[in-house]
Amino acid sequence: MLETIARELRELGMEARIVPSWNGPGGAGIVFPLRPPSGRFRGQILQLGLSFQEDAYPEYPPHFVHFRQEEIGGAHFTIHSKYEFEGAEWWAFSLPPSDFWDRLAPSEKNMRTFVRRHLFRVLEQL
């Protein structure tokens, strides 16, 4: 599952890497840089992490979105947990794309859709 997500993110031009274990929720995950196209982080490169509650991607998308605290500073969302990873404080947020993911055709359940429709709007609201 994580290999598929990392591959899909790499196909979008992102340097995704699998993290076998971190102190955040969801156990293993993916970390990758992302440059938001708009919002207060427009043009900046942020390090993001993704992890899961369910082990059935693409039927179930990533549930947790992780950010380095120093990169985002504050948040308008409720922080699910805080933890240390690679010498920095990270914040994990429970942000599943429940409002649209279940209605997608199977061919649209991929990281391209997740990044464009979900992560970019999350970044707009941070």
Which tens digit of pLDDT belongs to each residue from 77-93?
899 999 999 999 999 99
Distances (CA, A) of 88 to 22, 23, 33, 63, 77: 12, 12, 15, 21, 20
Query: pTM of the predicted model, to two decimals?
Result: 0.93
Q: Are 114 and 123 in contact (CB under 8 A)?
A: no
- Read off the pLDDT band of 65 (50, 70, 90): very high
